Amino acid sequence: MVPMERMVYAFEDGDRTMAAILGGKGANLAEMTRSGFPVPPGFTVTTGACNAFHAAGSLVPDGLWEEVDASVAALEEKSGKQFGSVTNPLLVSVRSGSPISMPGMMDTILNLGLNPKATEGLANLTGDPEFAWEAYRRFIRMFAEIVFGVPAEPLDHAMERAQEANGGSLDEEGLRSLIDRMERIIRGHAHRSIPEEPIEQLHLAIQAVFNSWQNRRAIDYRNHNGIAHDLGTAVNVQTMVFGNAAGESATGVSFTRNPATGEPGLYGEYLPDAQGEDIVAGVRTPLPVSDLARVMPDRYEELAAHAEALEQHYGDMQDIEWTVESGTLYLLQTRRGKRTGRAAVRIAVDMVTEGVIDHIEAVKRVDPDQLEQLLHPVVDPDASFEVMATGLPASPGAASGRVVFDADDAVVAAAEGPVILVRHETSPDDFHGMAVAAAIVTSKGGVTSHAAVVARGMGKCCVAGAGDLDVDYAKEQVSSGEIVVKKGEWLTIDGNSGQVISGHVDTIEPTFDDHFETLMAWADEIRTLKVRTNADTPHDADVARRFGAEGIGLCRTEHMFFGEERIAAIRKMIISQTPRERRDALARLEPYQVEDFIGIFETMDGLPVTIRLLDPPLHEFLPSHEELTHELTDLKVRLQSAPDLASLDAMLTRVAELDNLIAQVERLSEVNPMLGHRGCRLGNAYPEVTEMQTRAIFTAAVKCAERGIVVKPQVMVPLVGFKGELDQQAEIIRRIAEEVLSQEGIDIEYTLGTMIELPRAALVADQLAETAEFFSFGTNDLTQTALGMSRDDAGRFLPSYVEHGIIAADPFQSLDTTGVGGLIEIAAERGRAGRPDIELGICGEHGGDPASVAFMHGVGVEYVSCSPFRVPVARLAAAHAVLNE
């Protein structure tokens, strides 16, 4: 027979390296004990025991109880207390603790060891019978629910009735009679009583913790967070100490530094004369831990010294639970302290200054995703407010403003102060409203809906798909249950959490400090991947450059067409019947485009600017069919009561216009616009458009170059699937560029390349590379086509797929490295075969996602490009990618 591995470790027998078998909490308790910190003694049942229990079909492994019982005996000896003693009873807590933290998912039982006799003992010891019987009541309440599965409701109901009958609080007598009643209820439900024998209580409690590893909640949590199901949980059995014992007693939670700001020094809160769970329960308001310095100066000094020692010991900011029991300080737990992005940066940088870690470790310590918090406003964490609905956190930041439901109203209202644009969903027609809004809320759509993408591009807060909101355009109000917010009333949006809050709440603006700059400089030294930005306006380009962007990886030209005069010209272009008419309309647009490009080249002086030619289907530039037919119906009704002939005439003209527009919209409508007439398919159908855009790019480049600005244009052809498509566009671009440059007598180096955003393009990358000098992976569309999944429609099944683990993560947020990534690898390999020095980059939404950045680093691309506010995130993620190699 194979000797069974050891299944129980006293705290003094383990250390921090043993999280796999002792769980995170157990390993830390052992480490603290071993390092001489004042930890109440105890022992840990291993994850191996838990796994053996489940492997055997919920059978306790042979020898476990012997080891547990021996450990209890050792504990009794160490503490001088005995299980069930009337003079000095040993009470323990029984807590789960898995190798990877799963907060709140599994069960805890406190005060185990109490029975009527031991309760008398506790009363004797503390001189406080009410405290003792209340502790017993709490124990049987927890034990009944967790071990026997007795529903909480009748037990809580019994207590409420007892409290009512006794005018609120219960004395010993009241508690005893309540406990009698509770025990009857427990017997009624469980057909047995809570065992009096503490060791028997302990055996049952340990089994219950084992079982809680397999409860629905825990399984779902593991699925959701990608935690393996075979890790198992350890069980920590620890001597209870009481922050509500006689004399100098208190309990608290402290951080070794401020977890919100990173400021050095002990931070946290405590309650005098309380048990740990009272802090969590929130019935009493805790005091700042700094008060302790005044009330119990010696204990405070002791705590502060321990805190500093623990931080030194672990080399990171700690989150410590502690209790003072009758003048003695105990540490109950320590763990790595959670922190805000701001605090993470400051702590990492400070610790380098303090010599605790080096700057590589500092860079590693900050999660790139956390950085984004620093770059956007946040809702004041001290404010109280009412959440109407929670949608998807589609674009970070926070804003308060007055509600509007229409883009035009937004423009009007924005002159008076901040506005929040609330829509079912947005379309390019809403662009001017989105541009002036402080935040955008939609009741439909996902994190890659139009609203979300545009908002992120603008670095503007957005909550998308807040399905609980009932947006009523006709009544001009948004409601959720009882809460109704009308046009002009205040709404507050938290794009970090997805919360939609009724009323006005203060927000806190971001600031950049030296810590941030220092950390980013370290990251830049490490990373090899360049970071560019997706920017369509000089303003965005400027923001991104200040965030460290090293060029523009994607300048979308279509957003430039949405100004009032421009949209009129592009609509004229769309309804043109001949190339000549089309050229005339385009000629009106050209000066605008030149102006746009000049602004962007100026801002990006010396850096590459990748400009994508017109991409979206033309119908996106037309008003919606619904809107037009609505206006038409309306007009036809009003026709009958036209006040005079002139008005009638004007109305009739508009009717004709509308009829024509509706016909165009119908003609251009598509069944699957994502797969329709767009990208280079437009440029090939209407070469005039490519000609105009190319002329504008090079005219702008020449004008800038004449003023000494260094321009590096990269002209990018979208949605290429066939080499012939690229070649036709390349012929136009090279011809027009040559025309403009030779006319001006200036030589500007430029490159010509293509998006890789269709699976076919990836497969024929070698052919495309014969023409293209660079590839830019458009991972949004590549994801949509490779997965056959429309990002606008995926909301109906994707969340459930992620929840059930069919897909590890939303592929529109984090790159599907197997499928889409597989195509990228093929394209990179074949592209390099076709042109060894081809420049590779990525410009999809994934450019700002750390996991995706790591993947692209592995593929060996030159740069990633992301929205301006993600640039620092990508810089840090690129450094992490090097460090994790």
Q: Binding of its own copies at residue 789 (CB under 8 A)?
A: yes
Hey, which residues between 194 and 213 contact its own copies (CB under 8 A)? Answer: none
Q: Of 739 and 792, which has the nearer Cβ to its own copies?
A: 792
Closest by CA to 233, choosing from 47, 95, 19, 45, is 47
Min CB(426)–its own copies separation in Å: 13
Closest by CA to 274, choosing from 292, 258, 301, 255, is 292
Q: Of 94 and 622, which has the nearer Cβ to its own copies?
A: 622
- Relative orientation angle of helices 514-526 and 341-353, to the nearest 10 degrees: 80
Per the rule left: phi > 0, alpha: psi between -120 and 50, beta: everything else, 191 is left
Coil, helix or strand for 486?
strand
Amino acid symbol at 533: T
Instruction: Give the β-pairing of 318-325 and 712-717.
Output: unpaired
Give the per-residue contact string, 799-818, with its own copies (x = CB under 8 A; - = no): -xx--xxxx--------x-x
> Which residues are part of the catalytic machinery?
450, 843
Min CB(510)–its own copies separation in Å: 34
Q: Of 786 and 876, which has the nearer Cβ to its own copies?
A: 786
Angle, CA of 630, 633 and 636, to the nearest 5°:
145
- 182 CB neighbour count, 10 Å cutoff: 22
Q: Of 311 and 725, which has the nearer Cβ to its own copies?
A: 725
SS3 for 820-838 is: HHHHHHHHHHHHHHHCCCC
Q: Of 338 and 804, which has the nearer Cβ to its own copies?
A: 804
- Residue 61 corresponds to which tokens in the numbers above? 């492994």
Q: Binding of its own copies at residue 243 (CB under 8 A)?
A: no
Min CB(704)–its own copies separation in Å: 34
Min CB(681)–its own copies separation in Å: 5
Q: Binding of its own copies at residue 781 (CB under 8 A)?
A: yes
Min CB(794)–its own copies separation in Å: 8
Among 503, 563, 822, 834, binds its own copies (CB under 8 A): 822
Q: Binding of its own copies at residue 764 (CB under 8 A)?
A: yes
666-672: long-range contacts (C-beta < 8 A, 24 or more apart)? 666/625, 668/574, 668/617, 668/618, 668/619, 668/622, 669/619, 669/625, 670/617, 670/619, 672/790
- 196 CB neighbour count, 10 Å cutoff: 13
Among 26, 48, 759, 844, binds its own copies (CB under 8 A): 759
Q: Binding of its own copies at residue 758 (CB under 8 A)?
A: yes
- Those residues whose C-beta lies under 8 Å from the C-beta of residue 625, and which sit 6 or more positions away, are 662, 665, 666, 669
Residue listed under structure tokens 């209820």: 185
Q: Binding of its own copies at residue 273 (CB under 8 A)?
A: no
- For 645, phi then psi, to 5°, come to -65, -40
DSSP string, 392-426: EEEE--EEEEEEESSHHHHHHHHTTS-EEEEESS-
Min CB(673)–its own copies separation in Å: 7
Hey, which residues between 74 and 103 contact its own copies (CB under 8 A)? Answer: none
Rounded CA gap, 276 and 242, in Å?
Answer: 9
- 204 CB neighbour count, 10 Å cutoff: 18
Min CB(767)–its own copies separation in Å: 8
Q: Binding of its own copies at residue 464 (CB under 8 A)?
A: no
Cα-Cα-Cα-Cα torsion 738, 744, 750, 755, nearest 10 degrees, comes to -60
Q: Which stretch binds its own copies (CB under 8 A): 75-83, 237-245, 278-286, 780-788?
A: 780-788
Q: Binding of its own copies at residue 474 (CB under 8 A)?
A: no
Q: Of 350 and 816, which has the nearer Cβ to its own copies?
A: 816
Q: Binding of its own copies at residue 616 (CB under 8 A)?
A: no
Q: Of 6 and 636, which has the nearer Cβ to its own copies?
A: 636
Q: Binding of its own copies at residue 375 (CB under 8 A)?
A: no
Instruction: Give the β-pairing of 477-480 and 483-486.
Output: antiparallel
Rounded CA gap, 570 and 585, in Å?
Answer: 7
Q: Binding of its own copies at residue 152 (CB under 8 A)?
A: no
Min CB(613)–its own copies separation in Å: 15
- Residue 857 corresponds to which tokens in the numbers above? 């680093």
Min CB(809)–its own copies separation in Å: 12
Min CB(683)–its own copies separation in Å: 11
Q: Of 313 and 681, which has the nearer Cβ to its own copies?
A: 681
Q: Which stretch binds its own copies (CB under 8 A): 140-148, 176-184, 490-498, 756-764?
A: 756-764
| Strand ranges of the sheet holding 108-112, from the earlier edge strand across to the other edge | 8-10, 42-45, 234-239, 92-97, 108-112
Instruction: Give the β-pairing of 552-556 and 608-612.
Output: parallel
DSSP string, 682-726: HHHH-HHHHHHHHHHHHHHHHHHHHTT---EEEEEE-S--SHHHH
Q: Binding of its own copies at residue 355 (CB under 8 A)?
A: no
Residue listed under structure tokens 């308790």: 29
Q: Binding of its own copies at residue 275 (CB under 8 A)?
A: no
Among 792, 813, 814, 858, binds its own copies (CB under 8 A): 792
Hey, which residues between 555 and 594 contact its own copies (CB under 8 A)? Answer: none
Could you tell me the CA-to-CA distances from 497 to 338, 379, 485 in Å, in that order? 17, 10, 20
Amino acid symbol at 599: G
Among 36, 381, 481, 788, binds its own copies (CB under 8 A): 788
Q: Of 294 and 796, which has the nearer Cβ to its own copies?
A: 796
- Residue 392 corresponds to which tokens in the numbers above? 């998807």
Q: Which stretch binds its own copies (CB under 8 A): 136-144, 172-180, 744-752, 789-797?
A: 789-797
DSSP string, 175-214: HHHHHHHHHHHHHHHHSS---S-HHHHHHHHHHHHHHHTT
Among 785, 817, 865, 867, binds its own copies (CB under 8 A): 785
Q: Of 143 and 777, which has the nearer Cβ to its own copies?
A: 777
Give the per-residue contact string, 696-725, with its own copies (x = CB under 8 A; - = no): -----------------------x-xx-xx
Hey, which residues between 663 and 682 contact its own copies (CB under 8 A)? Answer: 670-677, 681
Cα-Cα-Cα-Cα torsion 393, 398, 399, 403, nearest 10 degrees, comes to 20
Beta bridge partners of 717: 754
Q: Of 113 and 617, which has the nearer Cβ to its own copies?
A: 617
Q: Binding of its own copies at residue 845 (CB under 8 A)?
A: no
Among 659, 793, 803, 829, binds its own copies (CB under 8 A): 793
Min CB(529)–its own copies separation in Å: 24
Could you tell me the CA-to-CA distances from 33 to 46, 103, 842, 872 in Å, in that order? 17, 23, 50, 41
Closest by CA to 239, choosing from 139, 392, 339, 91, is 91
Q: Of 251 and 780, which has the nearer Cβ to its own copies?
A: 780
Q: Of 349 and 769, which has the nearer Cβ to its own copies?
A: 769
Q: Binding of its own copies at residue 763 (CB under 8 A)?
A: yes
Min CB(792)–its own copies separation in Å: 4
Q: Binding of its own copies at residue 417 (CB under 8 A)?
A: no
Min CB(721)–its own copies separation in Å: 5
Q: Binding of its own copies at residue 408 (CB under 8 A)?
A: no
Q: Binding of its own copies at residue 757 (CB under 8 A)?
A: yes
- Count of residues touching its own copies (by CB under 8 A): 48
- For 403, phi then psi, to 5°, come to -75, 135
Q: Which residues bind its own copies (CB under 8 A)?
A: 670-677, 681, 684-685, 719, 721-722, 724-725, 728, 757-760, 763-764, 781, 784-790, 792-794, 796-797, 800-801, 804-807, 816, 818-820, 822-823
